Structure 1
Amino acid sequence: MTVVIGFEGSANKIGIGIIRDGEVLSNPRRTYITPGQGKSDCVTLTSRCEALEQAGLKPADIDCCGIHKGPGMGAPLVTVALVARTVAQLWGKPLLGVNHCIGHIEMGRLITQADNPTVLYVSGGNTQVIAYSERRYRIFGETIDIAVGNCLDRFARVIKISNDPSPGYNIEQMAKKGSQYVELPYTVKGMDVSFSGILSYIEVSVLLVR
């Protein structure tokens, strides 16, 4: 059996998970909260190796260290890369770089056990319809302006929704309590989509209310 510890930090979150032959043993995450939204204790909490504690393992049980090598935001990527390299050297384990996008896709395929799926890939910087064909990932359609994740993040900042545990989750919980639906503008062009109109509509609406 192969046990891998993975380090992910593309933006304002850090995730350190452990997988054993496709089974997720632990997956703790921490979100950085800016001073305007509340005190951040991200550094203190993540200084403890929660992933090992949750999985009930020791460093000697780990076979390999995986690292998210991009795409993502430069500063978080560099910081997490430094941590992962240090851990790999201290534990004497090989370090394996993983593409951010492929990591998302393969994680979903692993958890769902889907065979050769067509994937709707939605993250902070990407919104794409992807499938694997002839040993390559093929993009059939994608956003031509702003990604859904980025749109939700910016919407949350406009109306001052907390970033903890994530803007999208908090928006969803608030929406469940609502009873009025608002039609938002978006565009579909062939297999591509455009969401910038949604954000502009919301920003203008908030300004008018104020």
Structure 2
Amino acid sequence: MVIALGMEGSANKIGIGVIRDGEVLSNPRKTFITPPGTGFLPNETAQHHQKHVLNLVKEALQSAAISSSDVDVICYTKGPGMAPPLMSVAVVARTLSQLWNKPIIGVNHCIGHIEMGRAVTGAENPTVLYVSGGNTQVIAYSQKRYRIFGETIDIAVGNCLDRFARVLKLSNDPSPGYNIEQLAKRGKKFLPIPYSVKGMDVAFSGILSYIEDKAEGMLSSGQYTPEDLCFSLQETVFAMLVEITERAMAHCGSNEVMVVGGVGCNIRLQEMLAEMAAERGAILHATDDRYCIDNGAMIAQAGLCEFVSGSSTRLEDTFVTQRYHIAHFITLDLVRPKLGTTSWLCF
């Protein structure tokens, strides 16, 4: 049995997870919540993580009923993400690695989401829709690489939703995207919004500007309610995502689709993907906010896969990188033991 301790802190959540051979033993986390109408700044987020990280490590070990001597490998988020929060967690990971005399592995945040999703859902070789506050990509796997079929060319879908939540002065507790989702459930009147799919890519900044410009006048006149605007924005951007995901599935001949990332726990998005998948004779794999939202267990799971493949990170290489693109990561055969070589090759 191999036990991995994972440390995630790329954005406004600091999480510590413990995984034993794919089983989640503990997964506590804390979220940095700012006042309504505001976002989170890198330095303030880093201070939040520094405040909570050691207590979360203790909590994770206690909840898992293990001690530091039982841990086989320490895993931390190398990137992508915000530099100060990433560095705060990396420093603690390096320190624990030396204090406990344990190997350390730097994990790609995006791969953490995918491998956690596969572990939880049992997905074999899905086409992946990865949607969060900082990332929007359609991904599939072939020839020991994750291949990007489509992505946002400007801002991420989660960032689009979060910024519109600021316009409406919605609470950031538990998250702006969650509160938009709740309002959208009560929306009844659809506002036509520009639909911006460019080949296999999507763009959200123009859509955000359009609805921001329209919001004040429409709300003050009573023509539309906040619920209507949230409903309209969600339906439009989610339809765009489902369209490019379906195209990727058709190209791969895939009969599985998996949604991961913080936006992936949105029930409406899951419903739309499930309907698309059913029409294709495929199935949807999805999880809830325990594993869709950033957490330490996903970093432990991805790091565990690398560790059992014989990989580790040299101490001098335990830096962070904000732009750690998933396509730059080459996997080893043992990292994905369920997958054979597929017949298609993207590049």
Do both share a fold (TM > 0.5)?
yes
Tell me, what secondary structure is at the counterpart of 1:69? strand
Deviation at 1:75, TM superposition (A): 0.7
2:53–2:89: 8 Å Cα contact kept in structure 1? no
Change (3 A) 1:43 1:66: closer
Change (3 A) 1:144 1:44: closer
- Where in structure 1 are there 5+ consecutive unaligned residues? none
Which structure has the highest helix share of the two?
2
Distance 1:180 1:91 in 2: 58
Of 163, 167, 173, which residue of structure 1 is paired with 2:172? 163
Alignment of 1:80-95 (within 5 A): 80-95=89-104
In the alignment, what sits opposite 2:3?
A: 3
Distance 1:196 1:165 in 2: 24
Amino acid paired to 1:148: V
- Where in structure 2 are there 5+ consecutive unaligned residues? 39-44, 221-347
1:63–1:93: 8 Å Cα contact kept in structure 2? yes
In the alignment, what sits opposite 1:196?
A: 205
1:3–1:63: 8 Å Cα contact kept in structure 2? yes
Change (3 A) 1:52 1:27: same
Alignment of 1:1-210 (within 5 A): 1-34=1-34, 46-48=53-55, 49-208=58-217, 209=219
1:186–1:197: 8 Å Cα contact kept in structure 2? no
Which piece of structure 1 moves more, 140-149 or 28-37? 28-37
Tell me, what secondary structure is at the counterpart of 1:19? strand
1:172-201 CA-partner distances (Å, limit 9, x unpaired) = 123224444444323112211122233113
Aligned-residue sequence identity (percent) comes to 67
Deviation at 1:42, TM superposition (A): 6.6
Which structure has the highest strand share of the two?
1
Tell me, what secondary structure is at the counterpart of 1:164? coil
Distance 2:176 2:51 in 1: 22
Distance 2:8 2:188 in 1: 37
Deviation at 1:44, TM superposition (A): 5.4
Tell me, what secondary structure is at the counterpart of 2:212? helix
TM-score normalized by structure 1?
0.89
Amino acid paired to 1:195: F
Tell me, what secondary structure is at the counterpart of 2:79? coil
Which piece of structure 1 moves more, 175-184 or 26-35? 175-184
Tell me, what secondary structure is at the counterpart of 1:16? strand
Q: Say which structure, 1 or 2, has more relative contact order (CA 8 Å, 6+ apart).
A: 2
Q: CA RMSD in A?
A: 2.3
1:70-114 CA-partner distances (Å, limit 9, x unpaired) = 011111011111111122222221111001111111111121111
1:8–1:15: 8 Å Cα contact kept in structure 2? yes
Distance 2:216 2:92 in 1: 42
Tell me, what secondary structure is at the counterpart of 1:93? coil
